[in-house]
Structure 1
Amino acid sequence: MRIVLGVGGGIAAYKVASLLRLFTEAGHHVTVIPTEASTRFVGTATWEALSGNPVSNSVFDDVHQVNHVRLGHEADLVVVAPATADLLAKAATGQAGDLLTNTLLMAHGPVLFAPAMHTEMWQHAATRANVETLRGRGAAVLEPATGRLTGADSGPGRLPEPQVIFDAAMALVQGQTDFQLPLAGRTVTISAGGTREPLDPVRFLGNRSSGKQGVALAVAARNAGATVRLLAAHMEVPPPAGVEVVSVETALQLREAALAAASDSDVVIMSAAVADFRPAVVSDTKIKKRDDSADPVITLVRNPDILHELVEVRNAAGDEARQRLIVGFAAETGDSHGDVLAYAEAKLQRKGCDLLVVNHVGSDKVFGQDTNSVVILARSGSEPQEASGTKAEVSEAIINRIGFELNSVSPRA
């Protein structure tokens, strides 16, 4: 397939080198047309080396080949990434001031724009009108991802990941148009890590959770276009850029944060390892060894069932709240009374959540590891879905399933 890859003048231009690599490794012939501004971020030598083809942004180069007409005519697909606010405006108004905008006017095949700009630019009425104009003419315009932008700001306007753009481009060529980011415009709250229940000022009851799976879910949700809120208990990995972080320590703190966050969330994913019990009494001073060698007795009390409470609050609310998808995680071990899935099925019915992600845990399984293997159970009774691989790959499978559920399931009760 002959692809024209237009590169706009934004800081995200460096990520397009990975997109070009995806196209060429898939066997496609790619001609890169950078705007003049984009060459201040990535030079033409990079594009020529990666594409194996000469690169120009001028209508006056190789005039005898009439490139400003030929490239658009011959292209099976035109992809513009990053599509800056300036490029979207020029394309919408039919300007033809350089080789890329001429090619866009001459394109006979499908055209895909992958926007990237600051949030205020993306949300400006002029940009929104330009996007609607382009879509109305048959061009595909992806929703930008939500995440860290240039400087300290975060929000919608981040260039979608190269793999997302590649998948959308391939779907477009095949006639599919429903490839928008699955969680675009959604707010997703994710809990991650392990809670810690204090015994005294220096000791606590904890668990082996590293937070890796929760962080991977936050990255996958962010890349799927969602605004992500991470309720972070103890984690051995840093939170990802481009998400809101709410720090918690105990199960009670997580309960308070989760109930508050759920009120404006489309999806709540409870992937944190929450302590089932906490000490009935927390000592104000360090518990010391007694001279009589007597063993201390620590009385435990149950922590609230946060997942079940989230479901109850949702079901008791109005129709808008009932659209909220609630996803639980179950770290299970089998025993003589039943296997992992039997316990998980019972937990799904008991908790009442919409999806339950189940993994078989042990001293050398799941906790702290970089890989995972899960089964996704649905309250609707659909067939269990398996996913395995790196925690990033498992997270993408979970997020894709969530996107499917959001777009296909009626209000929950």
Structure 2
Amino acid sequence: MTKQTETETKEPRVRSVMYTQQIRLLKDKDWKRETKRIVNTVEPKYWASILHDKDLDDDGKPVEPHLHLMLYFSHARSPKSIAWEIDEKEGLRKNAKTERLEFFKNPNNGYSYLVHRTTNASDKYQYPLEDVFSNFDFTEKIEQITRNITRKAQMKDSELINELLDLLYDGDITLKEVENILTGSQYAKAASRIKTVMLKRQEVLLASYIKEMTNNQLHKEIIYIYGKSGTGKTRLATNYATKTSHTYFTTGSSKDPFQDYQNEPIVIIDELRPETFSYDDLLKILDPYNFNVMVPVRFFDKALSAKMIFITSPYSPYELYSEILTKKKGNPRIDSFEQLERRIGLTLYIDKHYIYSSTFEPRTKTYIPIQDKKQKNPFYENPIYVHDEQKLFDKIIEPMKTKNV
């Protein structure tokens, strides 16, 4: 049998998104006001929209007027979060429908489609550039895209690489986007320079983060949530993150937990286990006043610029500490538990009924849920067990019935 676990399948995050909707179904039937409502909610770095009211279908009949809104975000975002916010946060975020969203590896393709300046849309009505409503000079952008397409057809590898390196350094393109644009041979030529640029950009981001935190007398807030699997630890953390910030990051595999980190301000270290970090690295990451932290990833270190860090784990903080010292053979006289405890601003224990504030009892080395500091747990979901033994049995046995076994 299989069991639905607490940590749901992580959806790929995106930076370039196009929202499309028929005018009659918009919350505000004035497409420009609707555009402003949406961008004020989801807060993209760049946006551009247009009313398509001259499109024809394959039979030459008019297509119902509809809005196209292209969004480009500074950080990669969850499609469900974007859809949920566009829909004014109706219902649960995890149930948000993303059918009206289209995703682009390169935002320029989305901008070009708004006015049908793409190869696949060249036979459609060519909308005037001035019809587009945007927060940047759209005409200049399309002219730039057109020049670049012509130039890239004639461009030497070195010119293309230099252009992408500049965009990468400025944060206008991600490493994944660069990898999608370059061919294998081009990437091989640029690999060392890409690494150098990424390291330099991380230095710049880290310096900016340190300045912000220091000048504003801020510190990292550390929240530790522990409890059994399936009680809603991760949902509690992501619920807070989605309702208070447009960008957050959830760690991946224990082998490279920060691989996809893009300097989001909220970090969720999900299902923390003793083998994930060394005790020394964990203390550095969680130190509220240590802003000069680079987290290790496979190709280069990244600046940790989080203002809030959630930890979810089946272990209490002390249980985690004890397991780390056992597995890593640490010295408790040097690596004391107090170092970890004083870094945690709030410890929450969660069961299927309640969320408790929890306090450490030094005498028994245990955490005690505070009974008068609890809240009903809205994040618990009964695990779903699927009894599929017969189906799997039939699937395995069926090939044995053929004659050539």
Normalising by structure 2, we get a TM-score of: 0.29
**Greater RCO between the two (CA within 8 Å, min separation 6)?**
2
